[in-house]
């Protein structure tokens, strides 16, 4: 990066407020560095280690990290050494992953007042900027009427920040509906929480039903090695999941994307199709390809004649993600700082790459590399970098709540994606592809109760979720095409 880019980045960081607490966070940084050094040598008290107050409960590869903080285990600030043990514990637990997005669940269980929660926020306010930038949500569980009534919020900037991102949950059962929830999280709950909130029993009963379904599936497919998946009871569908829920190849790329890209790798002439990724395909054909992807029927996918169908499913993968590849927080960041970003587009794009969750960034780079391979055939397919950006801008970026005002931002997102494509035009996406046979077994946790011997097109057609999208004439046409 040359000096002009460095100067522009410095200017941009001055203009763009990552959060309203930036000035205060900078003041905290020096003290934090001292705390971090102390953490390496500080021995937590025995009283505290028996009941630690913070616990990382998410998986290492999850897009969003989840921390449980038990209010009743937080020491009284008057017991200075115990309280210092708690603060050091928070820093040691969160610091290694603080550059990833995270959620904090504060257990207000058995708390008669809001003082413990307020004390925690006061301490959190002494931490530097990075502890605020990636926080997606602060959930207070078992909040009493004092907390819910807003009495916990003071007038200072720290508590105002918390007020904006705080939600309340009355029971564990409500938390279990969240996408980040894993059944294993129940195992770390203190007995006091279980005694207070009996809804955990409902969650355990749901888990037992899930295990029973898993056993049925194992019997159906004759596979005793199906992984125990915390999300096994989720609705069985191929598109519309969170990014981290997709089965990944050995390089960390969703298998579905791998298969779709390899369709073009094995048939490079398809990249020359005019309007590829711009033109639409028949919905019923897309549904059939989705069904084949569900069972990883590589042979069937590779025999699809209409390359627009494969290209459309590739687009739909991103469009239907529960949270877009460029997260809602990144979307809001761009919209809030639109004037400054428009003046410094290339630097802003570099910053977006830096701010993205690591897993999302890997998928984005893989996709940009592949799309640039398509762009290289623009003499035939007419898909320039700009045309590709017009298609994928709305697929990569979208707001959490759709508003008419979003239309005014479309041009900027197209420009951003075009610059991304140009910056990564030589990215080697092929290193992320996995060599696979045409007859891989499907992942049963994605499609429970399906047989493993889907040998013909009729079986594939029968898997289509909405059978009404295919009439008999279309069915006959497809059978003649693919037999």
Query: What average pLDDT does this structure show over 39-48?
Result: 70
The answer to whether 307 touches 315, Cβ cutoff 8 Å, is no
Task: Tell whether the model's pLDDT for residue 305 goes beyond 70.
Answer: yes
Task: Give the least confident one: 48-57, 278-287, 313-322, 350-359.
Answer: 278-287
User: Any idea which of 15-24, 185-194, 281-290, 439-448 has the lowest mean pLDDT?
Assistant: 439-448
Mean local confidence (pLDDT), 176-200:
86
Res 18 pLDDT > 50: no
Task: Look at residue 220 in the predicted model and tell me its pLDDT.
Answer: 38
Mean pLDDT estimate for the chain: 79
- Range in 46-50, 196-200, 390-394 the model is least confident about: 46-50
Q: What is the pLDDT of residue 338?
A: 93
Q: Give the range with max mean pLDDT: 146-150, 403-407, 413-417.
A: 413-417
Report, as an integer, the average pLDDT of 44-54. 82
**Residue range 406-412: mean pLDDT, rounded:** 90
pLDDT at 439 (0 to 100)? 46
Q: Give the model's pLDDT for residue 26.
A: 59
Going by pLDDT thresholds of 50, 70 and 90, the confidence category of residue 281 is confident
Question: For 295-303, what is the mean pLDDT?
Answer: 78
pLDDT at 153 over 70: no
Residue of 148 and 14 predicted with greater confidence:
148
Residue 419 has pLDDT above 60, yes or no: yes
pLDDT of residue 450: 35
Q: What is the pLDDT of residues 341-377, one digit of tens each?
A: 999 999 999 999 998 999 999 999 999 999 999 999 9
**pLDDT tops 50 at residue 255:** yes
Residue pair 375/383 in contact (Cβ under 8 Å)? The answer is: yes
pLDDT of residue 404: 81
Q: How confident is the model at residue 7 (pLDDT cuts 50, 70, 90)?
A: low
**What percent of the chain clears pLDDT 90, i.e. is strictly above it?**
38
The percent of residues in the chain predicted with pLDDT above 70, rounded, is 73
For the chain, the straight-line distance linking the first and the last C-alpha, in angstroms and rounded, comes to 54
Predicted pLDDT of residue 34: 67
pLDDT at 310 over 90: yes
Whether pTM exceeds 0.75? no
Asked whether residue 28 carries a pLDDT value surpassing 50, the answer given is yes
The model's confidence at residue 74, banded by pLDDT at 50, 70 and 90, is very high
Give 84 or 147, the one with higher predicted confidence.
Answer: 84
The answer, yes or no, to whether residue 225 has pLDDT greater than 60, is no
* pLDDT confidence bin for 39, thresholds 50/70/90: low
Provide the pLDDT for residue 30.
62
pLDDT at position 27 is 58
Q: In this model, does residue 233 exceed pLDDT 60?
A: no
- In this prediction, residue 471 carries a pLDDT of 64
Residue 259 has a pLDDT of 93
Task: Kindly state the average pLDDT of the residues 242-258.
Answer: 90
Query: Is 467 a residue whose pLDDT tops 50?
Result: no
Contact 317, 257 (CB under 8 A): yes
Q: What is the pLDDT of residue 217?
A: 37
């Amino acid at each position: 990066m040359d000096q002009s880019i460095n100067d522009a980045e410095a200017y941009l960081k001055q203009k763009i407020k990552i959060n309203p607490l930036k000035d205060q966070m900078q003041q905290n940084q020096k003290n934090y560095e001292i705390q971090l050094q102390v953490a390496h040598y500080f021995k937590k008290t025995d009283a505290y280690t028996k009941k630690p107050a913070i616990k990382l409960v998410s998986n290492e590869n999850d897009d969003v990290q989840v921390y449980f903080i038990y209010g009743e285990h937080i020491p009284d600030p008057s017991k200075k050494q115990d309280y210092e043990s708690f603060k050091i514990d928070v820093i040691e637990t969160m610091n290694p992953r603080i550059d990833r997005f995270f959620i904090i669940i504060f257990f207000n269980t058995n708390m008669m007042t809001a003082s413990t929660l307020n004390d925690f926020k006061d301490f959190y306010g002494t931490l530097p900027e990075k502890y605020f930038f990636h926080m997606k949500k602060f959930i207070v569980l078992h909040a009493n009427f004092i907390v819910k009534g807003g009495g916990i919020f003071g007038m200072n900037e720290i508590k105002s920040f918390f007020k904006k991102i705080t939600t309340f949950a009355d029971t564990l059962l409500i938390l279990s509906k969240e996408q980040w929830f894993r059944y294993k999280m129940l195992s770390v709950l203190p007995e006091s929480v279980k005694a207070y909130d009996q809804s955990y029993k409902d969650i355990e009963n749901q888990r037992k039903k899930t295990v029973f379904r898993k056993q049925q599936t194992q019997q159906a497919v004759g596979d005793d090695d199906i992984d125990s998946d915390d999300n096994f009871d989720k609705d069985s569908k191929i598109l519309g999941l969170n990014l981290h829920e997709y089965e990944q190849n050995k390089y960390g790329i969703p298998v579905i994307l791998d298969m779709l890209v390899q369709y073009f790798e094995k048939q490079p002439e398809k990249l020359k199709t005019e309007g590829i990724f711009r033109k639409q395909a028949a919905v019923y054909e897309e549904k059939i390809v989705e069904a084949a992807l569900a069972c990883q029927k590589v042979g069937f996918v590779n025999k699809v004649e209409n390359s627009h169908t494969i290209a459309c499913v590739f687009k739909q993968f991103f469009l239907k993600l529960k949270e877009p590849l460029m997260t809602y927080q990144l979307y809001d960041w761009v919209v809030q700082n639109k004037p400054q970003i428009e003046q410094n587009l290339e630097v802003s794009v570099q910053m977006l790459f830096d701010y993205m969750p690591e897993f999302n960034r890997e998928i984005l780079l893989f996709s940009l590399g592949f799309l640039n391979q398509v762009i290289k055939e623009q003499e035939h397919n007419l898909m320039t970098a700009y045309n590709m950006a017009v298609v994928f801008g709305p697929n990569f970026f979208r707001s959490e709540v759709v508003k008419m005002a979003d239309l005014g931002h479309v041009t900027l997102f197209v420009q951003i994606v075009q610059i991304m494509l140009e910056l990564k035009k030589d990215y080697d996406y092929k290193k992320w592809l996995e060599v696979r046979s045409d007859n891989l077994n499907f992942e049963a946790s994605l499609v429970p109760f399906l047989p493993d011997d889907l040998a013909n097109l009729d079986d594939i057609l029968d898997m289509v979720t909405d059978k009404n999208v295919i009439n008999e004439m279309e069915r006959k046409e497809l059978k003649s095409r693919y037999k």
